[in-house]
Amino acid sequence: MITINGEPLPQEAIDFEYRRISQYYANHMSPEDLKANDDKLRKQAVEQAIGAKLLLNEASRLDIAVPEEMIDKKIQPMIEQSGGPEVFAQRLQENGITEQQLRDNIAEGCKVDLLIERICEGISDPTEEDMKAFYENNQKHYVQPERVAASHILIRPNSSSDDDRATAESRLEGIAQEITDGKDFGELAAQHSECPSGKQNGGNLGWFSRGMMVPEFEQAAFDMAVGEISDIIETQFGFHIIMKTAEDEGGQASFEESRDKIRELIRHDQRGKAVAAYVADLKEKAEIRETSA
């Protein structure tokens, strides 16, 4: 057990950091390299969990003001992903939390975000030369997997009952007929789809590779021809119609294709060093103990 100034550091905090680090480096390492570095990533997760707690304590001590609109911006995607304000409110109630409690929790995280922005002020983007040199030395990490691009229309049943599932499927059958009759897929997605991608992007999900979607959806999207529209497919989220818009066999990604990822990685590293130096100073002032209990 790790304690910070006498306060236990929850294992959940370490697990959260491990998942976050693993997901981040999955975009910059092959699966084999990721596995080989697992012990290192787990140790990094512990250090980052300690650092996160110290930053949270420091942000609270500094009493950093969080604009309400910053909290609203964090909550809005949660509302959309849950299916709307009423469903969102119901799920909060089911989890025994009020909206104000959620806002207070989000505000704590926002304080840390604002503190980090203060710490990282003045860090500039890497130069083109720096990014090209990084690419040349790390080409093996920039191999593009097979991927497809697709749009979809999602209709969610009101419940898992057979009647509600049949109603949802029937609604989607009507939309499918409108597509057959020549109506625009994107317009119908914007009108009817119950996925946030519908209203925001006309159902466009962009590019995705294997393992990023639920199995039923993934299989259909990869098996289809470009331009083809699927039959109705049921997943844990509801009923879908998929339109495949592009595909890419994968292979070595070019520097141009990798530039944004490289810029992000270098900036992430630079910001990480600045935050690490700040956290190191906080650690010097804190009492951190690890016991076998």
Q: pLDDT at position 165, please?
A: 95
> Please, are residues 180 and 254 in contact by the beta-carbon 8 Å criterion?
no
Listed residue (90, 108, 8, 92) closest to 50, CA to CA:
8
Q: pLDDT at position 223, please?
A: 96
Q: Where are the alpha helices (DSSP H) in the chain?
A: 11-25, 31-36, 38-62, 68-82, 85-94, 99-119, 128-137, 162-180, 185-192, 196-201, 215-223, 255-285
Domain limits, the chain: 2-137+254-290, 146-249
The torsion angles phi and psi of 233, rounded to 5 degrees, stand at: -120, 135
Name the β-bridge partners of 207: 149
Tell me which DSSP letter residue 127 carries. P
CATH 3.30.390.10 fits 146-249, yes or no: no
d(CA 132, CA 124): 17
pLDDT in tens, the chain (293 residues): 899 988 889 889 899 899 988 888 887 777 788 888 889 999 989 998 999 899 989 998 998 999 999 999 999 999 988 888 999 999 999 989 999 999 999 998 899 999 999 999 989 889 999 999 999 999 888 888 899 999 999 999 999 999 999 999 999 999 999 999 999 999 999 999 998 877 778 999 999 999 899 999 999 999 999 999 999 999 999 999 999 999 998 888 899 989 999 999 999 899 989 998 999 999 999 999 887 65
Q: pLDDT at position 32, please?
A: 81
Which residues, in sequence order, are CB contacts of 254 under 8 Å at separation 6+?
none
The torsion angles phi and psi of 231, rounded to 5 degrees, stand at: -70, 175
d(CA 254, CA 30): 16
Q: pLDDT at position 293, please?
A: 55
Fold exhibited by the domain 2-137+254-290: Triger factor/SurA peptide-binding fold (1.10.4030)
